[in-house]
Amino acid sequence: MDKTRLRCKELESKVMTAQEAAKIFENDMVVGASGFTPAGYPKAVPVELAKRAENGEEIGITLITGASVGPELDKELAVSGVMKRRFPYQTTNECRNAINEGNIKYQDMHLSHVPQWVKYGYFGEMDIAIVEAVAITEDGGIVPSTSIGNSATFIENANKVIVEINTSQPAELEGIHDIYIPQAPPNREPIPLVSVSQRIGTTYIPCDKEKIAAIVFTDISDSTRAVAPIDDTSRKMAQNLIKFLKEEVRLGRLPENLLPLQSGVGSVANAVLGGLCDSDFENLEVYSEVLQDSVLDLINANKVKFSSGTSITLSPHRLPGFYEEFDKYKDKMILRPQEISNHPEVARRLGVIAMNTAIEVDIYGNVNSTHIMGSRMMNGIGGSGDFTRNAYLSIFTTESIAKNGDISSIVPMVSHHDHTEHDVMVIVTEQGVADLRGLCPQERAEAIIENCAHPDYKEKLRDYFNRAKEGKFKHTPHLLKEALSWHEKFLETGNMK
Amino acid sequence: MDKTRLRCKELESKVMTAQEAAKIFENDMVVGASGFTPAGYPKAVPVELAKRAENGEEIGITLITGASVGPELDKELAVSGVMKRRFPYQTTNECRNAINEGNIKYQDMHLSHVPQWVKYGYFGEMDIAIVEAVAITEDGGIVPSTSIGNSATFIENANKVIVEINTSQPAELEGIHDIYIPQAPPNREPIPLVSVSQRIGTTYIPCDKEKIAAIVFTDISDSTRAVAPIDDTSRKMAQNLIKFLKEEVRLGRLPENLLPLQSGVGSVANAVLGGLCDSDFENLEVYSEVLQDSVLDLINANKVKFSSGTSITLSPHRLPGFYEEFDKYKDKMILRPQEISNHPEVARRLGVIAMNTAIEVDIYGNVNSTHIMGSRMMNGIGGSGDFTRNAYLSIFTTESIAKNGDISSIVPMVSHHDHTEHDVMVIVTEQGVADLRGLCPQERAEAIIENCAHPDYKEKLRDYFNRAKEGKFKHTPHLLKEALSWHEKFLETGNMK
Ligand SMILES: CC(C)(COP(=O)(O)OP(=O)(O)OC[C@H]1O[C@@H](n2cnc3c(N)ncnc32)[C@H](O)[C@@H]1OP(=O)(O)O)[C@@H](O)C(=O)NCCC(=O)NCCS
Ligand SMILES: CC(C)(COP(=O)(O)OP(=O)(O)OC[C@H]1O[C@@H](n2cnc3c(N)ncnc32)[C@H](O)[C@@H]1OP(=O)(O)O)[C@@H](O)C(=O)NCCC(=O)NCCS
């Protein structure tokens, strides 16, 4: 037992093996786990919990996390059948498949809603909070690792707390966190945060020592994934975006160093943000959920002076370098609870530039971020709604086609709606930019078709729009019979053309 | 000239007739007008402006308001062709028809976004702000009348200001307003509002006297409309809602006096809110946009201790009584700029219970508030999104059928999406209540079909859902070929059955 990691003497008696700790779980329990992207989630105990089910025990739980987590949770618990219900976001193949087969009940939620729902009692009583930590302080305060997510709220509201002290996570992470949790109405006060680099809380999560039921030492690393290398298409999207932002500065609508940048998750988002390395913007700030590889690149390139998120997720090959030079990054980064990183109050106050990725966009500017062909869940809406609606400038990027051109990502009507026309200001594809601000639906359709659609699909989109305009009601012209026919055709033939 | 109404000597020289003031408008100007619902909007000058166009002058403008306004603006300017572009909300037949005929370019916006867009320059330069007032103070401060809407932001940002002092609006309104406007990022501070009755600003809108181009005296009354009498269906909806709220209190998820109530606009919303008069709730608070008849009823019934909004719109027969007993109401009401009444920061902090009306709802809980059969604009989304997404509890009410049963308001897929599954917690119809919190899409469908749909359409909905479930992807089962077929059928045959 490493006493620099477990500094509270009183709690030494709570140390046990993962297998022992896994016995604390009972059938039908509601469990809150740390983790946001495959970073900072508990690993040792969930694997042991899955084994109990594999050995024939009847055990099913509701799992609530910050956002997606790694395979030790979302794969193991899905495959073993332990996971019955899942909130609010997931990305592993196993969990996704079980959801789409109807075997896991999943509610896809705005990430800022989750901690509120816990406090308001909407998930029922929380039986167990299980969180990864780099250390426990003298007073029993829990120091999170590479993400915070909802850990603080889970710890406050759960009946029992299990802590995994992960020695593969560097002890130096202590100090990077800033824990502040607002009270519930009617006693909620303004969140005092007015700048990206401001600290408003503590570096650990306060925890009632009585609630700690188990402490497990482990050294399993975060199972992060490499982001796809930046390809030509992403590079073009980034160039289009940068050109657009420069024009906004020129028109006096944005300051020279822009406003705090929020960037979505995934390969496209990483590439687009990374594209700023090649721009002449300086003194940028990042106020986002997830700090991906591109944030390090931007810090290295002296473009970003400060970044705030709720999770650090780097490609596996980037991690060692990050920890080696941690001193350089430490005073340019803060991790916050997702209730703060994603809070509408803060996003609107700071005036973030929200840049998220769409699966598909329709001619009127509605965005689908979650469902393939209307029914199949991909990941979830994540924090995209928290930021988009409250942004100074809300931007969605997508490649104009998918699956080698068999799919147009610009369609007459999206097959699922996550962000409506009211929330989407700008669409960027590798083809160009559609600035939708101030445009009526017909004008939006023209801008999106002409600037963003792939040449192979432009004529077909124009044809739909022109025929729709002949209808009686011309505000948002649609041919309801055909609005979803592109998706139908793809499902039948494997091609939208 | 009434010097108690125009108390600033320096500005006396700016008094002119409506006809003279109307000459200040030029072709292609961007105009911001006061008004939110048919309350507190300018009346005399717009009518004269319309006459200029009727007399053959080439004059077209972009009109931005708080929300809907009365016929002197939205009817006269639409019919005369002066209105070319319109933001963010409207409700007159004439304006609506011109939008649906494609003659007015309309962008339907979240009401809290409008003042930000003005400040950020997204509408371009604002040429004229025209606002109704009950008085101008000694220092040139403008005292609004029955609504505030965006007046403060328009006045701050416009090049010229025209004031209509309306002597039909009682001078006693002075003191009811609380003007506070946040700065733009990156210098925005927390909004200090932490309770419904708190004052954080001034009772008048500060205005640079140099900008005042005209002052016009008028006595044309607000052209308010009577809300429909409360019928059996609305009464049942209200009863269902009250039963649900009581259960939330019993379960300890809401305090005994609930949390601040936000109520949508229209007859249904008025009836539902009014239904609380017959409940045993007490010490309620209202934090809403529009204070309709039902708020007076609730104050009279000693149910509501304080109400905050951005507009007071009473049925014509209620107005005289309201002014007679104004003393009784005055210390139970505050009017705020819509940037504050609708601000996500405040709505989430106070934890409002948002109750808005849907046109239609689908089996997965998506809500259409704006478009009839996908293309025809009704009014707009208004503030429903501002409140719904940030609510402690978000509720949508709708009658289960429309047009005497030819339409089911519960459909397989809504024909337009304004509020997505992520934002809608509870659906209430006269049939019952579907509590969607924590349910996956399939469970939502069951709850909505069984509890909320009309008996005439239940079997048909079950049939759609059951067949959809046979598809390969079971997260959000849909038959894309049929998803919008109910609407198609209505358009073809006048009936969904
Ligand atoms: C939208 C999202 C899935 C894109 O992820 P990405 O890694 O950048 O994008 P990719 O281009 O690799 O696309 C992912 C998959 O969707 C598929 N896809 C993309 N567009 C598609 C379309 N229009 N139709 C069907 N499939 C499509 C891709 O082919 C790829 O499929 P694969 O996994 O079988 O290879 C991802 O950003 C996401 O989940 N967003 C929602 C949550 C969010 O915005 N979070 C940020 C909040 S701060
Ligand atoms: C939805 C809304 C139109 C309902 O208004 P209302 O006066 O309470 O409701 P009504 O039942 O009278 O319905 C209005 C019309 O829509 C029609 N309608 C209602 N449901 C319908 C449906 N499912 N399909 C087609 N038409 C429908 C009604 O028949 C009626 O038509 P009519 O004008 O030809 O008589 C109104 O609340 C609104 O505009 N909401 C959006 C903005 C908002 O929520 N603002 C509040 C923010 S704080």
**A225 inside domain:** no
Pair B210, B253 in one domain: no
**B126 inside domain:** yes
- What's the confidence (pLDDT) of residue B269? 87
- Give the model confidence (pLDDT) of B24-68 as tens digits: 999 999 999 999 999 999 999 999 999 999 999 999 999 999 999
Confidence of residue B334 (pLDDT cuts 50, 70, 90): very high
- DSSP label of B279: S
**B193 inside domain:** yes
Closest among B432, B437, B467, B464 to B448, alpha carbons compared = B432
- Give the model confidence (pLDDT) of A432-488 as tens digits: 999 999 999 999 999 999 999 999 999 999 999 999 999 999 999 999 999 999 999
Q: What is the CA radius of gyration of chain B?
A: 23
User: What Å distances lie between residue A195 and A306, A307, A348, A386, B183, CA to CA?
Assistant: 10, 11, 12, 18, 14
Label residue B170 exposed, middle or buried (CB < 10 Å: 0-12, 13-18, 19+). Answer: middle
Ligand nearest to the CA of A404: 1
Spatial separation of the C-alpha atoms in residues B146 and B134, rounded to whole Å = 9
In sign, the C-alpha dihedral spanning A221, A222, A223, A225 is negative
**A425 inside domain:** yes
User: What Å distances lie between residue A29 and A126, A129, A159, CA to CA?
Assistant: 8, 11, 11
* DSSP secondary structure string for all residues of A225-279: -PPPPP-HHHHHHHHHHHHHHHHHHHTTSS-TT-S-EEE-SSHHHHHHHHGGGGS
Average model confidence (pLDDT) for chain A?
97
Show residues of chain A in contact with B87, CB under 8 Å.
438
Closest among A456, A365, A368, A446 to A407, alpha carbons compared = A456
Q: Establish whether A289 is a catalytic residue.
A: yes
Show residues of chain B in contact with A109, CB under 8 Å.
422
- Single out the residue in B172, B194, B218 at which a domain terminates: B218
Pair A18, A114 in one domain: yes
B96 and A CB contact within 8 Å: no
Q: Which two tokens stand for residue A302?
A: 């002296």
Label residue A404 exposed, middle or buried (CB < 10 Å: 0-12, 13-18, 19+). Answer: exposed
- What's the confidence (pLDDT) of residue B224? 86
- Give the number of other Cβ atoms within 10 Å of residue B280's Cβ: 9
Classify A436 as helix, strand or coil.
Answer: coil
Compare CB distances from B392 to A120, A195, A484 and report the shortest one's residue: A120
Size of interface A-B (CB pairs under 8 A): 232
- Single out the residue in B218, B245, B261 at which a domain terminates: B218
The domain tally of chain A equals 2
Ligand 2 binding pocket includes B24 (Cβ within 6 Å): no
Pair B118, B257 in one domain: no
Pair B15, B118 in one domain: yes
Q: Is B225 a residue whose pLDDT tops 90?
A: no
Q: Which two tokens stand for residue B97?
A: 């028809």
**CATH of residue A325:** 3.40.1080.20
Contact between chains at A475 and B100 (C-beta distance less than 8 A): yes
Pair B177, B271 in one domain: no
Region A405-412: mean pLDDT is 98
Q: Is B1 a residue whose pLDDT tops 90?
A: no
Contact between chains at A488 and B476 (C-beta distance less than 8 A): no
Contact between chains at A253 and B122 (C-beta distance less than 8 A): yes
Spatial separation of the C-alpha atoms in residues A392 and B174, rounded to whole Å = 34
Closest among A358, A328, A324 to A429, alpha carbons compared = A358
Bond before A186 cis per omega within 30 degrees = yes
Spatial separation of the C-alpha atoms in residues B411 and B482, rounded to whole Å = 11
Long-range contacts of A95-101 (CB under 8 A, 24+ apart): A96/A377, A96/A378, A96/A379, A99/A377, A99/B475, A100/A375, A100/A376, A100/A377, A100/B473, A100/B474, A100/B475, A101/B474
Region A137-157: mean pLDDT is 98
- What's the confidence (pLDDT) of residue A335? 98
Domain assignment of residue A420, given as a range:
232-493
Compare CB distances from B344 to A348, A366, A473 and report the shortest one's residue: A348
Confidence of residue B228 (pLDDT cuts 50, 70, 90): confident
Pair B179, B281 in one domain: no
In sequence order, which ranges of B251-357 are alpha helices (DSSP H)?
267-274, 293-300, 319-324, 326-330, 338-341, 344-350
**A63 inside domain:** yes
Q: Give the best residue of B64, B89, B375 to mutate against chain A (max A CB count within 10 A).
A: B375
- Give the model confidence (pLDDT) of B130-164 as tens digits: 999 999 999 999 999 999 999 999 999 999 999 99
- What's the confidence (pLDDT) of residue A267? 81
Region A342-362: mean pLDDT is 98
**B3 inside domain:** no
Confidence of residue B431 (pLDDT cuts 50, 70, 90): very high
Spatial separation of the C-alpha atoms in residues A102 and A123, rounded to whole Å = 20
Contact between chains at B381 and A422 (C-beta distance less than 8 A): yes
Classify B51 as helix, strand or coil.
Answer: helix
Pair A214, A126 in one domain: yes
Average model confidence (pLDDT) for chain B?
97
Q: Are A245 and A257 in contact (CB under 8 A)?
A: no
- What's the confidence (pLDDT) of residue B119? 97
Is ipTM over 0.95?
A: yes
**Nearest chain B residue to A257, by CA:** B186
Pair B450, B388 in one domain: yes
Pair A330, A257 in one domain: yes
Work out the widest C-alpha separation in chain B, in whole angstroms. Answer: 77
Spatial separation of the C-alpha atoms in residues A328 and B216, rounded to whole Å = 64
**B1 inside domain:** no
**Nearest chain A residue to B444, by CA:** A107
Pair A288, A201 in one domain: no
User: What single-letter amino acid sits at A250?
Assistant: R
* pTM above threshold 0.95: yes
User: What single-letter amino acid sits at B298?
Assistant: L
From the CA of A270, how far away is ligand 1's center (Å)?
Answer: 12
- Single out the residue in B183, B218, B253 at which a domain terminates: B218
**CATH of residue B71:** 3.40.1080.10
Q: Are B339 and B117 in contact (CB under 8 A)?
A: no
Confidence of residue A311 (pLDDT cuts 50, 70, 90): very high
**A226 inside domain:** no
Q: Are A167 and A217 in contact (CB under 8 A)?
A: yes
Spatial separation of the C-alpha atoms in residues A198 and B381, rounded to whole Å = 36
Pair A130, A249 in one domain: no
Q: Is B270 a residue whose pLDDT tops 90?
A: no
Confidence of residue A268 (pLDDT cuts 50, 70, 90): confident
Q: Are B232 and B275 in contact (CB under 8 A)?
A: no
Spatial separation of the C-alpha atoms in residues A207 and A320, rounded to whole Å = 31
Confidence of residue A48 (pLDDT cuts 50, 70, 90): very high
Q: Are B352 and B260 in contact (CB under 8 A)?
A: yes
- What's the confidence (pLDDT) of residue B114? 98
Pair B181, B306 in one domain: no
Ligand nearest to the CA of A410: 1
Q: Is A215 a residue whose pLDDT tops 90?
A: yes
Contact between chains at A194 and B190 (C-beta distance less than 8 A): yes
User: What single-letter amino acid sits at B382?
Assistant: G
Spatial separation of the C-alpha atoms in residues B317 and B311, rounded to whole Å = 17
User: What single-letter amino acid sits at A135?
Assistant: A
Spatial separation of the C-alpha atoms in residues B333 and B292, rounded to whole Å = 12
- A186-225 residues touching B, CB cutoff 8 A: 186, 188-192, 194-195
- Catalytic residue selected from A289, A339, A360, A399: A289
Lowest mean pLDDT among A27-31, B247-251, B326-330: B326-330
